[in-house]
């Protein structure tokens, strides 16, 4: 699919055709199954100052927390009890935790339950990424947000797109299943930038791809910018399914932050993954990368069951499988 055609689809040239084709392709490759990934957000400390993120280091209003390694392992252990095939160990760029801390979490999580472990820890050193892979980490999620160098530099001060892309290549070489993604309607994004972002994402031949709408956080420089369009995010998700038929694509929590029920609707438009939070309810509201993140205040079991009910409401089946990369099976 050429970039010009993608641009037309993103502009709404054929929503019924686009959404129907994405749904059909998802069912062809994944059936009715929707994989659940239980997310443990173990620290909201971050050394970065991204202009869109509520966890940015300059935001002194956020209540910061760190879970102990033991608490993270206990949260991960819920996966077996709740029949979840993958856990995601996620934080801001917080270097308080050593390579050995993270390795211990990976090893003990896999020992307690037959799960895949995804890490989402930001820009850690290459030797650390290799170390964790050697200790059993299966996947790594590292979002790009945009491939436009100027917009990237504007949105993530002091950081470069080239470094981010190099780290994605390091992850691939290390043998991880690799995930990345973009934000639709990020302030400064144009339709041309988004179309190019989707092409670039597909060219990376990723195992996991995430796309979610921009949600403004009032304690950031982008706080007064308009919220992203849910429809634009749906179109981008559907286009990505056409470009990457075998990728695991989540319907993101950012959709529900803008409209209740939008996340489950995304499961009818190309997504095949949902990621409920396993973070203790005592701290989960503080992982506020945007307003509405972890808005459902309940224990982990209730959150997971609510996700399963939402999946069933749209005629899909919650899966207990690990849900590994189908792309690799076809290489």
In sequence order, what DSSP letters do the residues of 76-109 get, joined into one string? HHHHHHTT-SEEEEEESS-TTS-HHHHHHHHHHH
Judge whether 177 is annotated as a binding position: no
Judge whether 75 is annotated as a binding position: no
* Helix intervals (H) in the chain: 3-10, 15-30, 69-81, 99-112, 126-134, 149-155, 161-174, 191-203, 230-243, 253-258, 262-266, 300-313, 326-329
Those residues with Cβ within 8 angstroms of residue 20's Cβ, 6 or more apart along the chain or in another chain: none
What are 191's two structure tokens?
């339709």
Whole-number Å distance between alpha carbons of 51 and 195:
22
Distance from the Cα of residue 308 to its chain's centroid: 18
Those residues with Cβ within 8 angstroms of residue 227's Cβ, 6 or more apart along the chain or in another chain: 185, 213, 214, 215, 216, 258
What are 240's two structure tokens?
């990505």
Judge whether 133 is annotated as a binding position: no
Judge whether 81 is annotated as a binding position: no
Please count the residues of the chain: 331
Judge whether 91 is annotated as a binding position: no
Binding site listing for (3R)-3-methyl-D-ornithine: 120
Binding site listing: 46, 50, 53, 120, 145, 156, 164
Binding site listing for S-adenosyl-L-methionine: 145, 156, 164
Binding site listing for [4Fe-4S] cluster: 46, 50, 53
């Amino acid at each position: 699919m050429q970039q010009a055609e993608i641009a037309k689809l993103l502009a709404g040239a054929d929503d019924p055709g686009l959404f129907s084709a994405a749904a059909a392709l998802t069912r062809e490759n994944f059936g009715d199954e929707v994989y659940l990934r239980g997310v443990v957000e173990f620290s909201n400390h971050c050394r970065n100052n991204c202009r869109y993120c509520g966890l940015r280091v300059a935001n002194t209003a956020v209540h910061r927390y760190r879970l102990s390694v033991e608490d993270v392992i206990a949260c991960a252990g819920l996966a077996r009890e709740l029949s979840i095939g993958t856990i995601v160990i996620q934080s801001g760029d917080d270097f308080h935790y050593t390579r050995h801390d993270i390795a211990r979490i990976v090893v003990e999580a896999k020992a307690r339950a037959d799960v895949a472990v995804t890490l989402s820890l930001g820009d850690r050193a290459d030797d650390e990424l290799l170390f964790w892979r050697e200790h059993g980490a299966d996947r790594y999620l590292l979002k790009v947000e945009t491939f436009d160098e100027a917009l990237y530099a504007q949105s993530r001060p002091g950081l470069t797109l080239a470094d981010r892309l190099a780290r994605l290549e390091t992850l691939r070489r290390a043998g991880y299943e690799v995930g990345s993604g973009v934000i639709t309607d990020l302030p400064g994004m144009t339709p041309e930038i988004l179309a190019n972002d989707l092409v670039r994402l597909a060219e990376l031949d990723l195992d996991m791809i995430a796309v979610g709408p921009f949600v403004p956080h009032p304690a950031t420089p982008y706080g007064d910018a308009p919220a992203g369009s849910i429809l634009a995010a749906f179109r981008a998700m559907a286009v990505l399914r056409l470009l990457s038929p075998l990728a695991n694509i989540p319907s993101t929590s950012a959709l529900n932050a803008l409209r209740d029920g939008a996340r489950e609707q995304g499961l009818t438009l190309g997504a095949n993954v949902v990621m409920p939070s396993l973070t203790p309810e005592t701290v989960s509201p503080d992982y506020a990368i945007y307003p509405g993140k972890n808005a459902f205040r309940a224990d982990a079991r209730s959150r997971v069951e609510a996700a399963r009910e939402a999946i069933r409401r749209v005629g899909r089946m919650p899966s207990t499988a690990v849900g590994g990369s189908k792309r690799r099976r076809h290489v």
